[in-house]
Structure 1
């Protein structure tokens, strides 16, 4: 498969890479936590369901030529969650997604990873206008989207709930449109 984006990105504290089967155990820290999954999959998952989510993220790369990255905290070597490009069948448009295990909230990791993904996408996929689709009650994720310069576009009914669509501003590679508004909350 010829991927449309790099399979690996590096930031100051993180390595973003394609997923491997063994990552499911670390990912389960996120997917088994009711607080983490409240605004995403809606409920904690059992181990087999976490494995299936991992398989879907690996398959996304194969089907779309891009996908979410496994975010590895360099200090610990642990996969702390997925951040990257996501466009499943029922999604309105391609998005930048982020989801980190609770032990890693509040450290700026989601911001660091999302900015790296946004910059890479501007360079590698300049014709794709990215969104972030966020459940309306997910204040921390909304704050992060705004901090990296995404603008609220509309509210929509999606998967039985109310979601907000935030549009990431088109930019040229290397441009940093982070507005520095100072997100508070989990990310």
Structure 2
């Protein structure tokens, strides 16, 4: 079964990006606290647009990719989450990135759980990880909360990164 281009969780719509989404993503990418472990700097408007464009291009090259996370109640784009596998990554991953205004409200964990379920149905052959900088305590906590387990730590781009392996079955399934 091909990867779903759009699906819903109780509070969210995970869907393909549109050109109108880049300003909402720029709220994340222009915030150094949000990008300190990924880009290690805040991005310009043009760089935010290119980051969104690369996520769209990922779909063309891999057949899957990151989604825009839209809150059903407001229609606002909160950030991105989805499947991601750049050519220098150790394995396909579930990534997430929310604007700081939406941290701590359970949106990221809800999106990741939805992606885990979708991936188990649509691409069960992928052994998914989350590739997290070792100092990124909030992302490590989220990975653990959704059932991912620490596999190992590796050096990557001059820093220490941890590979968290996602479960191959839904949590609670036997």
Give the TM-score category using the shorter length.
over 0.9
- 1:6-25 mapped onto 2 (5 Å cutoff): 6-25=4-23
Deviation at 1:159, TM superposition (A): 1.5
Deviation at 1:177, TM superposition (A): 4.4
Contact 2:147 2:171 in 1 (8 A): no
Contact 2:84 2:92 in 1 (8 A): yes
The whole-number CA distance in structure 2 between the counterparts of 1:118 and 1:51 is 27
Partner residue, 1:52: 50
1:122-166, Cα deviation, whole Å (9 max, x unpaired): 011111100000000000100110011111000011122110000
The whole-number CA distance in structure 1 between the counterparts of 2:2 and 2:35 is 29
- Runs of 4+ aligned residues of structure 1 deviating over 4 Å after TM superposition are none
Higher alpha-carbon deviation: 76-85 or 111-120: 76-85
Partner residue, 1:153: 151
SS in 2 for 1:84: strand
Deviation at 1:99, TM superposition (A): 0.6
Q: 1:73 aligns with which of 61, 71, 74?
A: 71
Q: CA RMSD in A?
A: 1.3
The whole-number CA distance in structure 1 between the counterparts of 2:69 and 2:94 is 14
Q: Structure 2 regions of 5+ residues with no counterpart?
A: none
Contact 1:30 1:37 in 2 (8 A): yes
SS in 1 for 2:37: coil
Partner residue, 2:38: 40
The whole-number CA distance in structure 1 between the counterparts of 2:147 and 2:97 is 18
Deviation at 1:176, TM superposition (A): 2.6
Q: Structure 1 regions of 5+ residues with no counterpart?
A: 179-187
1:27-60, Cα deviation, whole Å (9 max, x unpaired): 0000000100111221100000001101100000
The whole-number CA distance in structure 2 between the counterparts of 1:150 and 1:56 is 26
Partner residue, 1:176: 171
The whole-number CA distance in structure 2 between the counterparts of 1:45 and 1:86 is 20
Aligned length: 173
The whole-number CA distance in structure 2 between the counterparts of 1:177 and 1:43 is 39
Contact 1:83 1:98 in 2 (8 A): yes
Q: TM-score, normalised by structure 2?
A: 0.96
CA change 1:112–1:99 in 2 (3 A) is: same
Q: TM-score, normalised by structure 1?
A: 0.90
